[in-house]
Amino acid sequence: MTDLTASQVQSTDAVRARSRFPVHIAVFLAPAVAIYTLFSIYPLIDTIRLSLYAGDETGLRSFVGLQNFRTLLADPNWSGQFWNALRNNLIFFAIHMVVQNGIGLGLAMLLSLPRLTGGSVYRTLIFLPTMLSVVIIGFIWQLILNPLWGIAPSLLDAVGLRSLFGPWLGQESTALLTVSLISVWQFVGIPMMLIYAALLNIPDDLLDAATVDGAGPFSVFWFVRLPLILPTLGVVSILTFVANFNAFDLIYAIKGALAGPNFSTDILGTFFYRTFFGFQLQVGSPTMGAAVATAMLVIILIGVLIYLFGVQRRLQRHTF
Amino acid sequence: MGPTVRGTTARPGRIAVHIALILYTILALGPILLILVNAFKTRRAIFADPLGLPNGQTFTTIGFDRVFANADFGLYFFNSMTVTLVSLVLIVLIGAMAAWALTEYRFPGNTLLSLYLAIGIMVPIRLGSVSILRMMVELNLVNTLTALILVYVAQGLPLAILILGEFIQQIPKDLRDAARCDGVSEYRIFFSIILPLISPAIATVAVFTMVPVWNDLWFPLILAPGDGKQTITLGVQQFIGQYVTDWNAVLASLTLAIAPVLVLYLVFSRYLVRGLTAGAVK
């Protein structure tokens, strides 16, 4: 906005001669820039600023520099929880990358087969869970996996796997995996759709040429289609990354803010919520909450930068 | 296409492909159907025969009666509707105006401003919650739908501007140039020529914007958790937290939350699929 007004002052005549530039452009842009700046960018910057302060009981804030981050990363009262949440979040992300995006890729491959009957019906139905609220999905699976209802064990019984059943959501060793898989189940439609669209974009001549040259279905996939959809896989990965490191709703719905059992499903989103609002005996702290949010912001930015400057650049050079 | 090459060789594999897709579809829909079916059964039938359809003996709506008696789902639904629709209208209108300005006019700082507006696509606004809450407290907007709408508009704008901008670029230049020759103002060019032309893209933006807003738990939980301003997602979450052992009521409340989305999705899925696969079918 500033260089807009500056140029207006500097060369009003020149601008007017070229076009009727400033006023209407400013009018078109102002509402979006104002709301976006006020309720999105300003809060993010203000959160970073707040993370450098500490508040006491009276509500007075004082500047403490990076002290909050030192507390977060090294104070035994905090660091254990932070590293635990970060580790769980990485596992959560890894499961999504492998299982969600793997299944998504597989389904997209099947759906993009030429002249598949009912393709759009499958697509629509498989995408359906993605549309529902994460909260609703969380409760649905909580009921299904509830040993009281007994649906899960009797279904496993039908395929002879009853012995595998356990209170998966309640055990420390399996809770995180179970929650991750519920999330995978819900969101598999997104990579499926994006990869499907990318596969449709591949010109048929390329595939035909490869087939005529004697390439089998596997070689066509590995040497022709996969390299051509790598940019889309990059997009899918970064979307998964941002969504996972920002996740909260599912864990909160299934496990509550304490992310039990014994914090085994705690991820950065739930840790942020607890730090900010407090839980049980601990009082919430806006400044420590801001520090956790800033740490999450840094993690997400690192991921985005790796994608933009590492992955995306290389992929584009590779394909075009 | 190479019908002779792939059409004939693929035949035997086709059945296997369909079996795989059908199995996955069952896995995707089964859990949801299970909830919908059991919501209409007696408690005894829910446990004795969870997979069976309700019949004359087991059919009941007692769960729904209890939900309506104990929670104001009508109000929550109305709140969600209001927040979603007002946000949507604002996002589309304001977003289209900005997208138009950024794609149509060359001016200093254009690229920089586009990049600035794109930050929100990758950086989740949630991380600014501490400050957003402080701000809403100062503005006296806690427990109001206005607070939610402002945040959701800020959250939805970046993606809307991106999608609408790409769409506006595809509109032929002749129309607006002709209008300009006739001396039509830039405002009228936008509101009476461009805005009607981008309605297909608006449908895509609508789907991408409405779903996250309707389903969100975080901001309702932080900004409007009480005073009858709960959205349906938060309302269900609070209700189930209280009535966790009442299976009929829990299943009924889940069904009430699922049903409207299900209906809307099946009606509008074309737009969504088209949006997600935009540019794929040429």
Ramachandran area for residue B128 (φ above 0: left; ψ -120 to 50: alpha; else beta)? alpha
Tell me, yes or no, if B6 comes closer than 8 A to chain A by beta carbon.
yes
Residues of A in contact with B154 (CB under 8 A): 35-36, 38-40
pLDDT value of residue A107: 94
Tell me, yes or no, if B223 comes closer than 8 A to chain A by beta carbon.
no
| pLDDT tens across the length of chain A (320 residues) | 444 444 444 444 444 445 445 688 889 999 999 999 999 999 999 999 989 988 776 667 888 888 889 888 888 888 888 999 999 999 999 999 999 999 999 999 999 887 788 888 898 899 999 888 888 898 889 888 888 877 887 788 778 777 777 788 888 888 999 999 999 999 999 899 889 988 888 888 888 888 888 888 778 888 888 888 888 898 899 989 999 998 998 998 888 888 878 888 999 999 999 988 887 767 788 888 999 999 999 999 999 889 888 777 766 655 44
Tell me, yes or no, if A279 comes closer than 8 A to chain B by beta carbon.
no
Distance CA A211, CA A217 (A): 8
Residues of B in contact with A125 (CB under 8 A): 25, 28-29
> Predicted confidence band at B19 (pLDDT cuts at 50, 70, 90)?
very high
* Exposure letters A186-199 (e unless 16+ CB within 10 A, then b): bbbbbbbbbbbbbb
**What type of residue is A89?**
N
Residue A136 lies in a domain: yes
Residues of A in contact with B135 (CB under 8 A): 39, 43
Distance from CA of B147 to the nearest CA of A (A): 10
- Is the pLDDT assigned to residue B2 strictly greater than 60? no
Q: Cα separations (Å) of A193 from A23, A60, A200, A320? A: 42, 51, 11, 23
**What is the greatest pairwise CA distance in chain B?**
76
pLDDT value of residue A57: 66
A interface test, pick of B1, B122, B191, B240 with most A CB neighbours within 10 Å: B122
Distance CA A313, CA B206 (A): 31
Residue A29 lies in a domain: no
Place of tokens 């970073």: A48
Are B27 and A107 in contact by the 8 Å Cβ rule? The answer is no
- Is the pLDDT assigned to residue B9 strictly greater than 70? no
pLDDT (tens digit, 9 = 90+) per residue, B105-144?
Answer: 888 888 899 999 988 888 889 899 989 999 999 999 999 9
Give the global pTM. Answer: 0.86
**What type of residue is B230?**
Q
Residues of B in contact with A19 (CB under 8 A): 105
- Cβ distance of A3 and B108 shorter than 8 Å: yes
pLDDT value of residue B92: 92
Distance from CA of A88 to the nearest CA of B (A): 19
**What type of residue is A54?**
A
Residue A229 lies in a domain: yes
Distance from CA of B276 to the nearest CA of A (A): 6
Q: Cα separations (Å) of A221 from A161, A312, B54? A: 34, 21, 47
Query: How many beta-carbon pairs below 8 A join chains A and B?
Result: 262
Are B221 and B147 in contact by the 8 Å Cβ rule? The answer is no
- Cβ distance of B32 and A36 shorter than 8 Å: no
- Cβ distance of B31 and A110 shorter than 8 Å: no
Residue A277 lies in a domain: yes
Tell me, yes or no, if B259 comes closer than 8 A to chain A by beta carbon.
no
- Bond before B225 cis per omega within 30 degrees: no
- Cβ distance of A32 and B278 shorter than 8 Å: no
Tell me, yes or no, if A201 comes closer than 8 A to chain B by beta carbon.
yes
* Structural element, H or E, at residue A61: strand A61-63
Q: In terms of residue numbers, what domain contains A212?
A: 69-319
Residues B204-221 have a mean pLDDT of 85
What mean pLDDT is reported for chain B? Answer: 85
Residue A28 lies in a domain: no
Nearest to A43 among B135, B158, B190 (CB): B135
Are B93 and A270 in contact by the 8 Å Cβ rule? The answer is no
Q: State ipTM.
A: 0.85
Tell me, yes or no, if A112 comes closer than 8 A to chain B by beta carbon.
no
Q: Residues near B88 by Cβ (< 8 Å), separated by ≥ 6?
A: B206, B209, B210, B213
- CA B132 from chain centre, in angstroms, equals 22
Residue A151 lies in a domain: yes
Are A139 and A186 in contact by the 8 Å Cβ rule? The answer is no
Residue A2 lies in a domain: no
Residues of A in contact with B21 (CB under 8 A): 107, 110-111, 118, 122
State the Cα torsion A287-A288-A294-A299 to the nearest 10°: 180
Distance CA B107, CA B93 (A): 22
User: In chain A, which among 4-63 make CB contacts under 8 A with chain B?
Assistant: 4, 7, 19-22, 24-25, 27-29, 31-33, 35-36, 38-44, 46-47, 50
Residues of B in contact with A300 (CB under 8 A): 122-124, 127
Distance from CA of A204 to the nearest CA of B (A): 6
pLDDT value of residue B179: 83
For residue A278, what is the DSSP state?
E
**Both tokens assigned to B23:** 């199995």
- Cβ distance of B98 and A28 shorter than 8 Å: yes
Beta-bridge partner residues of A283: A278
Residue A49 lies in a domain: no
> Predicted confidence band at B4 (pLDDT cuts at 50, 70, 90)?
very low
In B, minimum Cα distance to A50 occurs at B131
**What type of residue is B196?**
P
pLDDT value of residue A59: 67
- State how many domains chain A has: 1
Number of H helices, E strands in chain A: 19, 4
Domain of A164, CATH number, reads 1.10.3720.10
Residues B149-172 have a mean pLDDT of 90
**Residue B176 half-sphere exposure, CB side, CA atoms within 13 Å?**
21
> Predicted confidence band at B275 (pLDDT cuts at 50, 70, 90)?
low
Tell me, yes or no, if B87 comes closer than 8 A to chain A by beta carbon.
no
pLDDT value of residue A317: 54
Are B139 and B132 in contact by the 8 Å Cβ rule? The answer is no
- Bond before A31 cis per omega within 30 degrees: no
Tell me, yes or no, if A271 comes closer than 8 A to chain B by beta carbon.
no
More confidently predicted of A225 and B13: A225
Distance CA B225, CA B235 (A): 9
User: In chain A, which among 58-97 make CB contacts under 8 A with chain B?
Assistant: none
> Predicted confidence band at B161 (pLDDT cuts at 50, 70, 90)?
very high
For residue B280, what is the DSSP state?
T
Domains of chain B, start order: 11-60 (no CATH), 67-276 (1.10.3720.10)
User: In chain B, which among 122-161 make CB contacts under 8 A with chain A?
Assistant: 122-135, 150-151, 153-155, 157-158, 161
Tell me, yes or no, if B266 comes closer than 8 A to chain A by beta carbon.
yes
- Is the pLDDT assigned to residue B255 strictly greater than 60? yes
In B, minimum Cα distance to A201 occurs at B280
**What type of residue is A282?**
Q
